[in-house]
Chain A
């Protein structure tokens, strides 16, 4: 069985913490060999979405300044239900609500490199028979 990456996969990372955002962008860009964009806040991401069209996978911090990750998740599930949403947080209390809102995955900080690779394997790679 051969692995392939979803054709023209579009991934976005939304986190106000530059260290974390840049790391995830770097890992995703390397893993899928596609341009991956990072955003500091939900507003900039949604503005980009208006012009860029669909995004396949979003990794977003819950505790964003301004519109937070929960609001972003609710909004995306309503307008772009096909987009997979990975909620990031350093607070255990956020997990249940993320689950209730329909997040596809929860990435608890601090995370390891293998967690990001596991996300790629699950959400971006397809197996060809």
Chain B
């Protein structure tokens, strides 16, 4: 499992362009032919403080979080000091002279910036420097920098190009890092963040209506879709609050749009009655929940996986739903692309759970395969409606899914109601009618259960230590499980991308055949463990948690798993 991997941190104060520099560097390294995973370790502020982008670079996909860095490049002494504890003893650092540490190289990024004519280009200089130290050719660095700033005015573009040139010159006398990495050429790979992948997936999946209220870490999806609204033909509306957002999704979905919203846990709290409305009106919807630590306002820019049980139960009454959770950036695209088809097929809300780590993390990706994506809709076609004598929205059916017509598609009227209703959509409280619809909803959920895929299992769980993980923790858990295997333990990993309805039988037999089960649970309150019990009636043997709003690191997780299994 220990292939060559190189880790580093790019750090500075908010407002210095660390995130822009990180994005630039990620693209350069990807074009060079390496695999990159970066994640954001930032404070909730616009200027000052400490923002860090952590990188893992390898010659194979490497979406896991590393706790130890081989290199630190810091634009301020304060951020250098913050990164110092994770810098290896034999590691190297580029930082202002005020940070006195024997690992510091004598490079002055601020001087390079001044020479280039602007204090705002230090992050570009840093990116070019790291790229060169890792062996990226100058041409790739220069062309990527030029492209990145081509739309900015001449002065800014020039200053950035000059900064890169100066950094490349400086790097020629610095140590060459990660010589074991083998880049591949001519691959056409992409470098993008979790939210960009999710939004692009939604476009591929046919999103036509998006409404949201900005909330970290979900806002990225809103900005992405607003930016391509014209090109992709999406109605994007900034709602006045989350209650409006979810009710807009309901209205648009009823009218035949593929409708979506994105929020975090606190916003979903406000949306729950709307979720209930989606269930009662049987309206398809895609709801992204980008998790962060709670409760209440919690930590806006930090990460957690705490909202799973809330999302399972969100909205009063019985509301069949699907809950997906992409484990990495490529899956975020795929889930975005498939969620609308799923929602429309069963006429249910489909939740896509991500978190700050995945939303703001960025990875190298093969261009996605679009050939298998659905291109048809599940609404009753207007031509078919035209020859029908009658249409009712909530027709009683065996599989629980009633044909959905959009209003205005034909002369047939479409009536839906938030009250308990009859097949025609009008209010009722007659017991037989209420029960018939309730039974139909239960059959709908049974249909969803039949479509539920099994967990992904890596390794042989029989008599082994079975590690269970979901969402952004999977990559790190996979790496840790691999390292445990090298230490001589019999390990396996079970991960879930489709969490609800739960694959109850498969999960239960997996947990039964393992010698012990360990839940990787980034929550306060044992949320994942409770989910496992809810789904299977079994408790994991043990749980490894984080309570601090930070992601699991591979070193930390490996050590704690090793400790648990020896105990």
| Physical interaction between A and B | no
Q: Which residues of B contact A (CB under 8 A)?
A: none
